[in-house]
């Protein structure tokens, strides 16, 4: 099997960044220079696109309840530039999907229920949960305040 065939086999399963695809090919025994050429070919032919990968991963992580800080950090580990990361997050907001405070509040309600407003300890626990998930302070405060109109 050629390096290009291996790369294509990986790409038909899911999106990969250039860095990730190169790493996977070399891990499968493809010499680094051949892996790089195969990835270049996949990019030139439209099979691999870092921008498409960034948007896909950002949307998937958002749907699974992760915040923008965590998503930004994960995209950075894939070798994507700051401009591409910002574009992926902006695309979510542009599509009306990146309402981070509302996402945080929904997560808290599903996980902790209505008892949250009565228990300060539970509110702290919810805030810690959201921070670990990568939400900013404003989103955490919005999601954990006692009354929706506070």
| Tens digits of pLDDT across the chain (150 residues) | 888 999 999 999 999 999 999 999 999 998 999 999 999 999 999 999 999 999 999 999 999 999 999 999 999 999 898 999 999 999 888 777 778 999 999 999 888 886 677 778 888 999 999 999 999 999 999 988 855 554
Distance CA 127, CA 133 (A): 10
* Fold that domain 100-144 belongs to in CATH: Arc Repressor Mutant, subunit A (1.10.10)
Task: State the burial class of residue 141 (Cβ atoms within 10 Å of its Cβ: 0-12, 13-18, 19+).
Answer: middle
What per-residue confidence (pLDDT) applies to 93?
A: 81
* Fold that domain 50-94 belongs to in CATH: Arc Repressor Mutant, subunit A (1.10.10)
Which candidate, 140, 147, 2, places its Cα nearest to that of 70? 140
**Secondary structure (H, E, C), the chain:** CCHHHHHHHHHHHCCCCHHHHHHHHHHCCCCHHHHHHHHHHHHHCCCCCHHHHHHHHHHHHHHCCCCHHHHHHHHHHCCCCHHHHHHHHHHHHHCCCCCHHHHHHHHHHHHHCHHHHHCHHHHHHHHHHHHHCCCCHHHHHHHHCCCCCC
Distance CA 144, CA 69 (A): 18
Range(s) of the chain covered by CATH 1.10.10.10: 3-44, 50-94, 100-144
* CATH-assigned architecture of domain 3-44: Orthogonal Bundle (1.10)
């Amino acid at each position: 099997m050629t390096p290009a065939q291996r790369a294509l086999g990986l790409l038909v399963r899911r999106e990969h960044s250039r860095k990730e695809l190169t790493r996977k090919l070399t891990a499968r025994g493809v010499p680094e220079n051949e892996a790089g050429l195969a990835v270049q070919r996949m990019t030139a032919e439209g099979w691999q696109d870092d921008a498409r990968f960034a948007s896909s991963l950002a949307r998937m992580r958002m749907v699974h309840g992760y915040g923008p800080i965590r998503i930004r950090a994960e995209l950075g580990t894939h070798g994507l530039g700051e401009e591409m990361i910002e574009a992926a997050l902006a695309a979510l907001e542009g599509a009306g999907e990146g309402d981070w405070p509302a996402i945080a509040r929904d997560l808290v309600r599903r996980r902790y229920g209505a008892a949250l407003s009565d228990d300060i300890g539970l509110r702290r626990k919810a805030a810690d949960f959201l921070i670990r998930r990568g939400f900013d302070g404003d989103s955490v405060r919005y999601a954990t305040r006692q009354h929706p109109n506070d």
